[in-house]
Structure 1
Amino acid sequence: MTENVHVISAAMVPFGKHRSSSYVGLAVPPLIEALRSAGIDKSDVDAVWVGHSYGGMMTGQRICKEIGLGTVPTVNVDNACSGGATAVHEAWEAISRGLIDVAVVIGVEKLTQFGGGTLPLSPEDREVKQGIVMPAVYAMRATRYLYETDATPEDLALVSVKARKHGALNPFAQFRQEVTVEQVLTSRPVADPLTLLMCCPTGDGAAVVVLASDRARARLGARGMRVAASILHSGQVAEGFRDMTSPEISAHSARDAYEAAGIGPEDLDMIELHDAFSIAELVYYETFGLAERGRAIDLIRDGRTSFGGDVVVNPSGGLLAKGHPVGASGVAQIVEAFWQLTGVAGDRQIEDARWAMTHVTGGGTAGLDHGACTIHLFEAA
């Protein structure tokens, strides 16, 4: 028997450069707020999952002990950028199988500890040894996409312009100033054709959600949103040629999520997707069935993925504006979905929002499209 699972509370700290904060210092405030707004006590929590990549051993236990949350299972999850969302998937699975009633999921990361630059990757990976880093991978994707379609660098810039416009409405975003196409195109080159403003910033942050079964939600009298689908896939090894403009792991995950929820892309009111670089958003429009192959440019040029359009993509500002503290990002996406579907998103509220998708991938590994992909679909309750 599969139990319904609901997100009944969500909280986060503003993403940014919190150089004086620790992992514990970042995570404790939203943890306290999420428990408070859910109307639950520490004794109501059956288990805790914590997504992070660089926090070290027992990060979750160090966080929970600060508020006296102990004895229950506390599990640390590392799945690269998909770590926080993977933690939510694990909590969803435990509740849906009837093993527990209430779970807390924390996503947290402090990237300023590295002093800037690209994220450290595994030195054992053969492509990393050759100098492959994430900006280089996405620059190759962008180059190929521009070659195969009618897209131009201006279209890549439009993605960043939209992200910053949305981020300007979000008090939790790392960047809150709008930019122009010209500013994006003339910002510092990173990896041709990508410029600095086409790349997400590193930073620090934490986000927390509380998940509950039907029974617990009824007992608490909590509002929230129903988890209609929770999908986690790892990449399939494929040596040799791979179409970098068609991410199969995300396509397969979206297909399975739509099937599990019984909806299609036309039903979505919002999507929080993994826009680590501007090209990614255009590619995912097509991957998720929002546009035909090569026609993502029609959506971005016509403003159909912003407020008042067909579907609002990254109303939070996405990774490009909100920031990308990797372990926290997947949970923060769900926080945004919760605020939108419960009608408390303020200046960026999507009118009558009912269906939301969150999507995050993790890990660049030789031979794999991505190491992991987690997609969630939510329905307003």
Structure 2
Amino acid sequence: MDVAIIGAAMTDFGEREGWILELLSEAGRACLDDAGVAGDAVDHLVVSNMASGEFEGQTGTMNALASDLGVLPAYAERVDQTSASGGAGLQTAVRAVASGTSEMALLVGGEKMTHRKTAESADIVASVTHPFEYAHGVTLPSFAGLVARLYLSETAATCESLAAVAVKNHRHACSNPHAQFHKPITRSDVLESPLVADPLRLYDYCPVTDGSAALLCCPVSTAREYTDEFVRVTGIGGATDTHLVQHRPNPMQLRAVEESGQTALSMADCRPADIDVAELHDMATVLEPLQLEALGFAEQGDGWKHAIGEAIPSGPLSVNTSGGLKARGHPLGATGVAQAVEVYRQLLGEAGDRQVEADRGLTCNIGGFGNCVTTAVFEGGA
């Protein structure tokens, strides 16, 4: 696949002033500056956003952003795939370039959430669940608790094992200047935080976040006109699982993650063992080991061992060096884009104090609790 990323940017994540359009513009401009590309070179603008209408009463963000960034008359579209909107936007931009319909596709993802009360934000996010299950109290946090309870009963994992995921990701976020949290935590902090959905506690979940992130995609031949250093998207895949969770044979098996991962890895002609750095969707701590297992990095039931430092079959692997959703933050439409921004920085050796040795990277962005998923594989080097 002949697609390169030549620019990337993200805003600070956390509680931000202003509105969604301001955040999107901030990331979009920084991305164009990073690539050294003028706005009028962009022919396709993709905006990943789940709920600007629900959170702010603001729609048509893609049209307004095109004007703000000076990319007219580029075709502009908005992509909504719930909390996987960023990954879906990446797939849209990559496909546009790979198909030859776009020479320069700018992807900007973002969400403004913190100005609403926590209960209001939670209810907006809960709209991704099936109405039947929602009526019976199923929200994403509650379902995460149910799956975590099952995982702990079916494997050798413990609450301490899941707490280690949060500790690791907070440690990584301390080196990410754009992350929402820059404070390390201990397992005791996690285990003593308020209970949310047994056995998961407050520090097992990601925060409510404002923020935006952006990427600039083009053909590899075009990339070489701008820079000698870029990242190639070598594989990308998407998949969908049942909307009703009760229809899944095994709630611990994230089938859409499996399918999208197999597609992306096959397209990139590589195996899980070839991946050096991965950004996974840790909305709740239990999701990180479940993804490691579904993507083939660990055996079923053993994904939790990575966070506590035990070896997994795929060999050396750095997971969520950005801090993940847990500590970097989770502004819904921005998350999948921010994951790719982190992998881009790692592969170019631009990740600062959190830099790891990496030639290949992977991102996995999940909508709901595995309802819809996009997985992508990246390689460094021109």
Q: TM-score, normalised by structure 2?
A: 0.93
Other-structure match for 1:376: 376
Other-structure match for 1:108: 110
* SS of 1:50 mapped into structure 2: strand
Q: Distance in 1 between matches of 2:170 and 2:147?
A: 22
Q: Distance in 2 between matches of 1:66 and 1:158?
A: 43
Deviates more, 1:239-248 or 1:355-364: 239-248
Structure 2 gaps, min length 5:
54-58
Q: Deviations over 1:53-94 (max 9, x none)?
A: 111321122222123222111000110011111111011111
Q: In the alignment, is the contact (CA less than 8 A) between 1:231 and 1:256 conserved in 2?
A: yes
Aligned residue identity for 2:107: V
User: How many aligned residue pairs are there?
Assistant: 369
Q: Distance in 1 between matches of 2:243 and 2:333?
A: 24
Aligned residue identity for 1:38: A
Other-structure match for 2:297: 290
Other-structure match for 2:79: 77
Is 1:232 matched with 2:238? yes
Q: Once the 2 structures are TM-superposed, how far is the Cα of residue 298 of structure 1 from its aligned partner?
A: 2.7
Q: Distance in 1 between matches of 2:73 and 2:228?
A: 25
User: Of residues 96, 120, 144 in structure 2, which corresponds to 1:138?
Assistant: 144
Misfit runs of 4+, over 6 Å: none
Q: Distance in 2 between matches of 1:153 and 1:195?
A: 10
Q: Distance in 1 between matches of 2:371 and 2:251?
A: 14
User: Of residues 352, 356, 363 in structure 1, which corresponds to 2:361?
Assistant: 356
Other-structure match for 2:254: 247
Q: Once the 2 structures are TM-superposed, how far is the Cα of residue 218 of structure 1 from its aligned partner?
A: 2.2
Is 1:7 matched with 2:13? no
Is 1:17 matched with 2:15? yes
CA, structure 1 residues 300+26, in 2 after alignment: closer, same or farther (shift >3 Å)? same
Q: Distance in 1 between matches of 2:273 and 2:300?
A: 16
Q: Once the 2 structures are TM-superposed, how far is the Cα of residue 47 of structure 1 from its aligned partner?
A: 0.5
Q: In the alignment, is the contact (CA less than 8 A) between 2:162 and 2:204 conserved in 1?
A: yes
Q: Distance in 1 between matches of 2:259 and 2:184?
A: 34
Deviates more, 1:232-241 or 1:158-167: 232-241
Q: In the alignment, is the contact (CA less than 8 A) between 1:79 and 1:363 conserved in 2?
A: no
Q: Once the 2 structures are TM-superposed, how far is the Cα of residue 236 of structure 1 from its aligned partner?
A: 4.3
Other-structure match for 1:91: 93
Q: In the alignment, is the contact (CA less than 8 A) between 2:6 and 2:227 conserved in 1?
A: no
* SS of 1:158 mapped into structure 2: helix
Aligned residue identity for 2:349: G
Aligned residue identity for 1:108: G
Q: In the alignment, is the contact (CA less than 8 A) between 2:161 and 2:305 conserved in 1?
A: no
Aligned residue identity for 2:6: I
Give the fraction of aligned pairs with identical amino acids, expressed as a percent.
32
Is 1:208 matched with 2:214? yes
Aligned residue identity for 2:37: I
Structure 1 gaps, min length 5:
365-369
Other-structure match for 1:347: 353
Deviates more, 1:221-230 or 1:79-88: 221-230
Q: Once the 2 structures are TM-superposed, how far is the Cα of residue 345 of structure 1 from its aligned partner?
A: 0.4
Q: Deviations over 1:270-303 (max 9, x none)?
A: 0000000001111112111121111223322225
Q: In the alignment, is the contact (CA less than 8 A) between 1:209 and 1:331 conserved in 2?
A: yes
Is 1:276 matched with 2:307? no
Aligned residue identity for 1:9: G
User: Of residues 60, 64, 67 in structure 1, which corresponds to 2:66?
Assistant: 64
Q: TM-score, normalised by structure 1?
A: 0.93
* SS of 1:171 mapped into structure 2: coil
Other-structure match for 1:367: none
Q: Deviations over 1:338-357 (max 9, x none)?
A: 11001110000012x10000
Q: In the alignment, is the contact (CA less than 8 A) between 1:275 and 1:319 conserved in 2?
A: yes
Aligned residue identity for 1:275: D
Q: Distance in 1 between matches of 2:88 and 2:365?
A: 9
Aligned residue identity for 2:43: D
RMSD: 1.7
Other-structure match for 2:56: none
* SS of 2:196 mapped into structure 1: strand
Q: Once the 2 structures are TM-superposed, how far is the Cα of residue 215 of structure 1 from its aligned partner?
A: 2.7
